[in-house]
Amino acid sequence: MNGVASEALILDAWQANAQAWERAVRGGVIESRKLVTDRAIVEAVLSRTPRKVIDLGCGEGWLARMLAATGIEVTGVDVVPSLVDAAQKQGGGSFRVMSYEDVAAGALHERADVVVCNFSLLGHASVDGLLAAVPGLLETGGVLLVQTIHPWSAGVEPYRDGWREGSWAGCGEGFGEPAPWYFRTLDGWMASFRGAGLRLVDLKEPIHPHTGKPASVIFMAG
Amino acid sequence: MNGVASEALILDAWQANAQAWERAVRGGVIESRKLVTDRAIVEAVLSRTPRKVIDLGCGEGWLARMLAATGIEVTGVDVVPSLVDAAQKQGGGSFRVMSYEDVAAGALHERADVVVCNFSLLGHASVDGLLAAVPGLLETGGVLLVQTIHPWSAGVEPYRDGWREGSWAGCGEGFGEPAPWYFRTLDGWMASFRGAGLRLVDLKEPIHPHTGKPASVIFMAG
């Protein structure tokens, strides 16, 4: 399958599984999120003491709400209307339906101290296009925070960038077909940041308390 | 065992195994070096087109010789007199017996476009002290290159910085007791670079052609 078709399948899968996803996130179904990664991304954002945050791929809005509750102004962006709708109903931020292509094309006329992508960078060309737009979304001294699957714990072979089969394993009930996702090695992430005119500032490896291994990686680039 | 004792054991082991090491390196005994990591570090250094290179923990000097053969001025530093002696006999650089503590204390009055540490950062406090001295060894725009065991392929548990049992496995015959070594997570390396006033510029993951997995990681910091 080519990249364009895979990118389209990602959008299809999120449209089709938005309700199941909203239930999974709000019900705290995904163990690694509840135990490790939710707190890790919140702490990473708060460590920058931002006045304004842009949450790209905000989904049903939990992170935006959490940050807004501390007084931060948050704009959440997602391509799935029903997730944005769910986020808006709960409040705690300003939410907009927008694709990564829209953002890449300059449709988001805002700047923030932190742009955050929490497990929301799943594609290839769509992600590289989005990342290239990030410098234009950052205030001076602002940073991009990306939390994603740790390239090592992905357990995918061979160890090189490429499309992989997806799965909803661990997300609970009610999900349909998963979408493919684009695996990136550490090297691959570095190249993507560099290609976007960003430079890695820091990297965190939140450790899963049960396995003792990284549950994710958080890149800070600016 | 405490850190001070472990650091001392590293020096003891290299003093005791210098001859076996010289044979292993010159005989091309260590497969991952021959197949992947030797070339990877040479390419990483040459990518900077340096005029001058400092090789910290140069051992018997193969890297210094290789770089000198391309016209680069190289100073090699190692704490083991017999290895420095072996390096000097082959020529291709200027070699000096010096401990990392000496370098950390400012004993090396030189600057280079590239400071390279090829599998030579094995300790804890000794390495952090050395790294802190690196900015003072770099010309403007210069970089540090560190090739080391890839934190994932180390297969050490738990995934956190700490002393580990060493091994000469894969190095061939004639080795005595191995020394402990200080394992660093990616997170740990980032913290060490930051603590030294350095910032990661790039990262490479040379892939082993047989396993398809990273044979090492190369950090570029400046």
Domains of chain B, earliest start first: 3-56+111-221 (3.40.50.150)
Give the model confidence (pLDDT) of B36-75 as tens digits: 999 999 999 999 999 999 999 999 999 999 999 999 999 9
Q: Which residues of A touch B200 (CB under 8 A)?
A: 200, 203
By DSSP bridging, strand A200-204 and strand B73-78 are: unpaired
Q: Which residues of A touch B199 (CB under 8 A)?
A: 199, 201
- Of A61 and B1, the one with more pLDDT: A61
Residues A118, A218: Cα–Cα separation, whole Å:
9
| Residue A5, SS3 per DSSP | helix
CB distance B11 to B122 below 8 Å: no
CB distance A128 to A191 below 8 Å: no
Mean pLDDT of chain B: 94
The residue-averaged pLDDT of A19-29 equals 92
- pTM of structure: 0.91
Of B157, B199, B207, the CB nearest to A212: B157
Give the model confidence (pLDDT) of A72-130 as tens digits: 999 999 999 999 999 999 999 999 999 999 999 999 999 999 999 999 999 999 999 99
Interface membership of B69 toward A (CB under 8 Å): no
Give the model confidence (pLDDT) of B96-121 as tens digits: 999 999 999 999 999 999 999 999 99
pLDDT band at B1 (very low <50, low <70, confident <90, very high): low
pLDDT tops 80 at residue A155: no
Q: For chain B, what percent of residues have pLDDT higher than 70? A: 98
**In chain B, positions 137-166, which contact chain A (CB-CB < 8 Å)?**
151-152, 157-160
Instruction: Check CB contact under 8 Å for A159 and B213.
Output: yes
CB distance A103 to A123 below 8 Å: no
Residues B24, B49: Cα–Cα separation, whole Å:
29
Predicted local confidence at residue B156, as pLDDT = 61
Instruction: Check CB contact under 8 Å for A205 and B214.
Output: no
Q: Which residues of B touch A212 (CB under 8 A)?
A: 157-160
pLDDT band at A1 (very low <50, low <70, confident <90, very high): low
The residue-averaged pLDDT of A139-156 equals 89
ipTM exceeds 0.90: no
Predicted local confidence at residue A156, as pLDDT = 62
B148: left (phi over 0), alpha (psi -120 to 50) or beta: beta
Residues B36, B45: Cα–Cα separation, whole Å:
15
Interface membership of A119 toward B (CB under 8 Å): no
Give the model confidence (pLDDT) of B64-104 as tens digits: 999 999 999 999 999 999 999 999 999 999 999 999 999 99
DSSP string, A8-63: HHHHHHHHHTHHHHHHHHHTT--HHIIIIIHHHHHHHHHTT--SEEEEET-TT-HH
Neighbours of A30 (CB within 10 A): 18
Residues B162, B3: Cα–Cα separation, whole Å:
9
Instruction: Check CB contact under 8 Å for B190 and A202.
Output: yes
Q: Which residues of B touch A147 (CB under 8 A)?
A: none
Closest chain B residue by Cα to residue A213: B159
Q: Compute the nearest-CA separation of A211 from chain B (Å).
A: 8
Interface membership of B42 toward A (CB under 8 Å): no
pLDDT band at A153 (very low <50, low <70, confident <90, very high): confident
**Substitution target from B200, B208, B218 for chain A, most A beta carbons within 10 A:** B200
**Substitution target from A143, A205, A210 for chain B, most B beta carbons within 10 A:** A205
Of B186, B212, B217, the CB nearest to A203: B186
The secondary structure of residue B186, as a DSSP letter, is: H
Predicted local confidence at residue A157, as pLDDT = 73
| Residue A98, SS3 per DSSP | coil
pLDDT tops 80 at residue B132: yes
Instruction: Check CB contact under 8 Å for B199 and A201.
Output: yes
Predicted local confidence at residue A154, as pLDDT = 64
Residue at B38: amino acid letter? D
Q: Which among A6-20, A127-141, B166-180 has the top mean pLDDT?
A: A127-141
**Substitution target from B36, B152, B189 for chain A, most A beta carbons within 10 A:** B152
Q: Which residues of B touch A194 (CB under 8 A)?
A: 202
pLDDT band at B154 (very low <50, low <70, confident <90, very high): low
Q: Which among A10-14, B29-33, B114-118 has the top mean pLDDT?
A: B114-118
